[in-house]
Structure 1
Amino acid sequence: MDEEYDVIVLGTGLTECVLSGLLSVEGKKVLHIDRQNFYGGESASLNLSQLYSKFKPSSQKPDNLGGRDRDWCVDLIPKFLMSNGELTNILVHTNVTRYIEFKQIAGSYVYRSGRIAKVPSNEIEAIKSSLMGIFEKRRMKRFLEFIAKYNDDEASTHQGLNLDSNTMNEVYNHFGLETGTKDFIGHAMALWSNDDYLNEVARPTYERIMLYVQSVAKYGKSPYIYPLYGLGELPQGFARLSAIYGGTYMLDTPIDEVLYSEDGSKFAGVKTKEGTARAPIVIADPTYFPEKVKKTGQRVIRAMCIMDHPVANTNELDSLQLIIPQNQIGRKSDIYIAVLSDQHMVVPKGYYLAIVSTIIETDSPHVELEPAFKLLGTRLDTLMGIAELYEPVDDGTADGIYLSKSYDPTSHFESTTDDIKDIYFRVMGKPLVLKKRADGEEEEEALNGLE
């Protein structure tokens, strides 16, 4: 195999697969290689044997875990899709929804003052919420009405506030909101992982709250959707898209050598056991070019908790997102808990999977997850992994090497899609424009089964 391509993609993580799909649709000749024998790279879903060989290689998996190996699909990086978010838009735009079935996540919860409460998703729920007293509920209702009605072109909707100059804290204070209310709006609705946003201009927070509210409005219950059989379905869906448009895939193929131009300044191709493949540019995850990435200084700990019961105080729901805001437990970063069940085809019947993740802040990271473990109750087993977060040193335009960022601990894919759109822009020299569906019918069809 000595062949010329427009783009070589290394690693089948979600970012890489979405880009190879999008570039194939654009008519690029794409070669996609992964050294591993399964799709998904860092964002794969593993069966039980794969899971134990990765996280507990020396110990046997517990005898009390039922089901067949393939009844388990455990995400290495737990995230949900916002039903009105950018990844969902990309899935609909590319029609990858043909290959993947989605199910709603049944609820969105937040930890506050020692207990779990449902996050109000609209003005009516805010009035009923156990998170606030009667007067605070009215203030919260006024705040949500302001967000819903705000129109850049109509000064009468601004209440004297400017989203591009007022800080978010000033907006909250305008409505007289209490600290605890700011806390769950900022962390459980706008989904910020720390409090830095309070002193920044309000526009990004306004946009995040709108995304949350519109995502909830789409199907009710929660703003999140999730693919049946785990997130590993997403990279595979985009891989199929790429293949339909002529993309070539090679799994289980290590890179023997990276080739450069004669003066060594530019990427020129790769050598593998199959031969030489040449291309002017490469898109890769950080593990393929360790010398071209730097540590962000953050590390993430993730714990996969296998349970045989739902989370207490959540109405026995089959799935939910639970956020523990940092200042509720004296931390700098939030703790995220994603809970799934057999309804999502990721565990056998009768089991629940809770995946806990956060940014490490101390020398004993497993202890940092204790607040989450307390809320989860008894666990049949817990598997933990720690990941260093990396980002590229350069933007890739000089040497043709475009690298993705590591997956952060946030509960959804919005930061990942920012990275995808950013790399797309650098590679193609134009922004990724997602075509709007004319009548929304295709989307309804695409995300069917979401009651």
Structure 2
Amino acid sequence: MSQSDLDTDYDVIILGTGLTECILSGLLSVDGKKILHIDRQDHYGGEAASASLSQLFNKFKQKPMSDADREAKFGKDRDWNVDLIPKFLMANGELTNILVHTNVTSYLDFKQVSGSYVFKNGKIYKVPSNEMEAITSPLMGIFEKRRMKKFLEWISNYNDDDNSTHQGLDLDKNTMDEVFYKFGLGNATKEFIGHAMALWTNDDYIQEPARPTFERILLYCKSVAKYGKSPYLYPMYGLGELPQGFARLSAIYGGTYMLDTPIEEIMYTADDKFKSIKTKLGEFRAPVVIADPTYFPEKCKSTGKRVIRAICILEHSVPGTGDADSLQIIIPQSQVGRSNDIYIAVVSDSHNVCSKGRYIAIISTIVETDKPHIELEPALKLLGPIAEKFMGIAELFEPKEDGFKDNIFLSKSYDASSHFETTTDDVKDIYFRVTGHPLMLKTRELQE
């Protein structure tokens, strides 16, 4: 491809092919915008790519294994697609809605995650996925189960416009603590609801208005109800398929993609607004640029948080999960004397992400001490023998400004949460700032 083959003027230039950027590329292309999408790397996914085993060894190990030794131990490199940032999709969540409405689901196959587990008093327990499991679950005593049932009935029946469903509670005025008190729920149950269902990573939510927690629990319940077993879905061949699916959507609607294309210079207008970028293929102009934080480090700030992630290769299923081929384990912070939860996401060869008979378990949490590797010990102990382990720490960044001043709209780093809801919040926020209107999801006919 040469400069002469390419247009030089676009509606939006997008830098980086992380999931946030690729979703926006797809959505804006469908809206009729002319998109140029560039990545300095030679593969899709940015920080959230899926890597082969050889790439993992090269990225995380000072002395990578020889190809022959690695293949003898773990099988063929091409069988491995390991997520660098582990997350599951909520079956009823916003990312799933965007996938369905943009028809990106036609390029991807999903499998349901077999179960969700929570750590309590040194053991893991399955989070009940239906009423039968709830009745027999050892997580709660018989009276607490009744109170929990009443609480969940209130959640499912609550209607903003019908005071008779409120039971005297106001989601915008009452704190979650007051809601828990109303239903007489004990500390262990509160922890279970807040961390295993609402999926908060810490306890800050308890003193805040109840609505966000209410919405999260409702999302969890609806996601479980959709397919049973668990609220989570996972794409075959790994999360790296998601950015590629949206990139394909963008290309169908005329988007132009250039991988392996470093940015040589960013140009600005006289009043310091974004004007154009210069690459080896020439100069390209657009009134607006969307990018991940690595392209404009000077326009980003650290959130003050760092995430540690450990990618573990196992040659057996996780003990105590009934040979489940995929699962999530949540270790609530109070169970291990921390301020943030620890998450374990497990997938296996049944998702075409590793060689036969193997499992990938990825642990992630917010770093709290100057010995972050030790913080993962409670999670590592649950996995049994580990065949290989890769560890990395990432600082979390967010834009300093909203982008209106210079027409540079930046995404946030991927956090430690176990699902994509915060990522899709960022997508919707950037979409609104770039277009001036909220993202309205509606089914479209795909162009042939």
TM-score, normalised relative to structure 1: 0.95
Q: Partner residue of 1:52? A: 57
C-alpha distance in 1, partners of 2:286/2:92? 36
- Per the alignment, residue 166 of structure 1 pairs with 174
Instruction: Pick the aligned partner of 1:232 from 227, 240, 243.
Output: 240
| Partner of residue 304, structure 2 | 297
Provide the C-alpha distance between the structure 2 equivalents of 1:221 and 1:126, rounded to a whole number of angstroms: 12
Question: What residue ranges of structure 2 are gaps of 5+ in the alignment?
Answer: none
- In structure 2, how many angstroms separate the alpha carbons of the residues matched to 1:171 and 1:120? 22
Question: By how many angstroms is 1:99 displaced?
Answer: 0.5
Specify the alignment match of 2:102 in structure 1: 94
Deviates more, 1:304-313 or 1:126-135: 126-135
Give the letter for the 1:341 counterpart: S
Contact 2:343 2:418 in 1 (8 A): yes
What is the 5 A alignment of 1:189-200?
A: 189-200=197-208
Paired residues for 1:397-416 under 5 Å: 397-416=404-423
TM-score (norm 2): 0.96
Cα contact 1:46–1:76 (8 A) shared by 2: yes
**In the alignment, what sits opposite 2:292?**
285
Q: What secondary structure sits across from 1:3 in the alignment?
A: coil
Q: Deviation per CA, 1:37-70, whole angstroms, max 9, x where unpaired? A: 0000001000011111111142326645322111
- Contact 2:102/2:443, CA 8 A, preserved across alignment: no
RMSD of equivalent CA atoms:
1.3
Question: What is the distance in 2 between the residues matched to 1:155 and 1:129?
Answer: 33
- Residue 143 in 1 paired to residue 147 in 2? no
Write out per-residue CA displacement over residues 159-218 of structure 1, whole angstroms, 9 at most, x where no aligned residue.
Answer: 111111111111111111110110011001000000000001111111000000000110
Cross-structure match for 1:108: 116
Aligned with residue 347 of structure 2, among 334, 340, 353: 340
Amino acid aligned to 1:417: T
Q: Does residue 1:22 correspond to 2:33, yes or no?
A: no
Provide the secondary structure at the position in 1 that maps to 2:311.
strand
Q: Map 1:232-251 onto structure 2 (within 5 A).
A: 232-251=240-259
User: 1:266: which partner in 2?
Assistant: 273
Counterpart Cα distance in 2 of 1:104 and 1:243: 28
Greater Cα shift, 402-411 or 67-76 = 67-76
Cα offset, 1:141, TM superposition: 1.3
Alignment of 1:350-389 (within 5 A): 350-389=357-396
Contact 1:123 1:145 in 2 (8 A): no
The reply to whether residue 221 of structure 1 matches residue 232 of structure 2 is no
Instruction: Write the deviation string for residues 264-297 of structure 1: whole angstroms up to 9, x where unpaired.
Output: x100010000111011110000000000000000
Q: Distance in 1 between matches of 2:171 and 2:307?
A: 32
Kindly indicate whether the alpha-carbon contact (under 8 Å) linking 2:236 and 2:351 is maintained by their aligned counterparts in 1. Answer: yes
Give the structure 2 partner of residue 79 of structure 1. 87
Equivalent position amino acid for 2:28 in 1: L
- What is the rounded CA distance, in whole Å, between the counterparts of 1:357 and 1:81 in structure 2? 16
Do the aligned partners of 1:190 and 1:205 also contact (CA within 8 Å) in 2? yes
Look up the match of 2:335.
328
| Identity percentage of aligned residues | 70
Structure 2 CA distance, aligned partners of 1:242 and 1:170?
A: 46
What amino acid maps onto 2:306 in structure 1? Answer: R
The number of aligned residues is 437
Distance 1:324 1:266 in 2: 46
Rounded to whole Å, the distance in 2 between the matches of 1:104 and 1:74 is 18
Inter-partner Cα distance in structure 2 for 1:70 and 1:145:
48
SS in 1 for 2:74: coil
Match of 1:448 in 2: none
Counterparts of 1:123 and 1:196, CA distance in 2: 29
Shift of 1:436: 6.1
Give the match's secondary structure for 1:235. helix
User: Could you tell which deviates more after superposition, 114-123 or 357-366?
Assistant: 114-123
How many angstroms apart in 1 are the aligned matches of 2:54 and 2:437?
43
Aligned amino acid, residue 104 of structure 2: V
Partner of 2:139: 131
Give the corresponding residue for 1:315: 322
Rounded to whole Å, the distance in 2 between the matches of 1:66 and 1:299 is 30
Q: Distance in 1 between matches of 2:301 and 2:36?
A: 26
Q: CA deviation at 1:136?
A: 1.1
Does residue 35 (structure 1) correspond to residue 40 (structure 2)? The answer is yes
Could you tell me how far apart the structure 2 residues matched to 1:58 and 1:8 are? 38
* 5+ long unaligned stretches in structure 1: 443-451
- CA–CA distance in 2 between the matches of 1:122 and 1:221? 8
CA distance, structure 2, for counterparts of residue 200 and residue 405 of structure 1: 23
State the distance in 1 between where 2:317 and 2:267 align: 52
Q: Report the secondary structure of 1:4's partner residue.
A: coil
Partner of 1:447: none
Q: Deviations over 1:401-431 (max 9, x none)?
A: 0000000010000000000000000000000
